[in-house]
Amino acid sequence: MAVNTPEYHDGHGFIAEIVRTSRRKTADIRVEEGAVSVVVPTDTPLEKIDQLLKAKRTWIRDKIALHQSLQPASDKAFVSGEAFSYLGRNYRLKIETGHFAPVKLVQGRLRVQVPEDGNKPHVIRNALVRWYKRQAEQKLAEKVNRYASAVGVKPAGVRIKTFKSRWGSCTIDGVLEFNWKILMAPNRMVDYVVIHELCHLIHHDHSAAFWREVERVMPDYEACKAWLRQHAHGLEL
């Protein structure tokens, strides 16, 4: 499979992520969690993508509005100077005006560049969600590789998901799935979630034997478990 680096297109009210791949012969527009992505064959010209987005603009905006209406009320304003947690440390958001550029952590700031008409809370939030998900793909894969040998297992893969009320899961075929929001927690809490799911490859329940396995690898797991239970409500965008 050949998948290129994503491009971004100003949809006037939303930012569409363009993903080019050799696996597709037709274009596909997706609106997931209020974020718009267009998956297209590798050689699709920008003019055709623009026409497709214009034709679907009403449908896209309706989908975005539906997601916003279903989102729990956020205490975030998504404005410059606001703090967002990453691995337990707070970083200030810096919003700049120009052609869209995705969030980057630069000199202790979470920088994002958006068109003048794109400086809206849902656009900034979607840019941050995309950033957290990309960090999660990298960080959680690294942690799974690091701890798998300590647990003594070989997972079939790692996926990043959005869960409403859990931090991770282990599928029947051995794939570990993690909630990207865990990256807002301190690093040790992320370690606990990874070890927890790795141990499910040995014990598929929460029996005494399962918790003994978790404790063997992470003796302080109970403190991490308690921290997450107490602070889960704050790990939101």
DSSP characters over 147-182: HHHHHT---SEEEEE--SS-SEEE-TTSEEEEEGGG
Same domain, 99 and 126: yes
Same domain, 18 and 31: yes
Judge whether 42 and 2 are in contact, CB under 8 Å.
yes
Domain-located, residue 106: yes
Domain-located, residue 175: yes
Distance CA(203)–CA(212), nearest Å, equals 10
Domain-located, residue 214: yes
Range of the domain at 151: 135-234
| Final residue in a domain of this structure, among 130, 152, 167 | 130
Same domain, 101 and 20: no
Same domain, 162 and 209: yes
Domain-located, residue 2: no
Q: Please tell me the number of Cα atoms within 13 Å of 77 on its side-chain side.
A: 8
- Give how many domains the chain has, as a whole number: 3
Same domain, 92 and 48: no
Q: Which residues does residue 35 pair with via DSSP β-bridges, in sequence order? A: 32
Domain-located, residue 38: yes
Domain-located, residue 172: yes
| Final residue in a domain of this structure, among 35, 70, 105 | 70
Same domain, 162 and 210: yes
Same domain, 118 and 141: no
Q: Over the stretch 135-188, which tens digit does the pLDDT of each residue have?
A: 999 999 999 999 999 999 999 999 999 998 899 999 999 999 999 999 999 999
Q: Which residues does residue 15 pair with via DSSP β-bridges, in sequence order? A: 10
pLDDT at residue 2, rounded to an integer: 44
Judge whether 126 and 15 are in contact, CB under 8 Å.
yes
pLDDT at residue 130, rounded to an integer: 94
Same domain, 110 and 57: no
Same domain, 66 and 115: no
Which CATH number belongs to the domain containing residue 169 in this structure? 3.30.2010.10
Global pTM value: 0.89
Judge whether 39 and 27 are in contact, CB under 8 Å.
yes
Same domain, 124 and 203: no
pLDDT at residue 3, rounded to an integer: 47
Same domain, 169 and 190: yes
Which residue type occupies 193? V
Domain-located, residue 184: yes
Residue 166 vs residues 30, 49, 68, 154, 218: alpha-carbon distances, Å: 24, 36, 21, 22, 20
Judge whether 76 and 122 are in contact, CB under 8 Å.
no
pLDDT at residue 63, rounded to an integer: 92
Residues of the chain with pLDDT under 50: 1-3
Strands 157-161 and 175-179: parallel
Judge whether 66 and 34 are in contact, CB under 8 Å.
no
Domain-located, residue 75: no
pLDDT at residue 1, rounded to an integer: 40
Same domain, 37 and 52: yes
Going by C-alpha positions, the residue among 139, 147, 155 that lies closest to residue 216 is 147
pLDDT at residue 4, rounded to an integer: 55
pLDDT at residue 13, rounded to an integer: 83
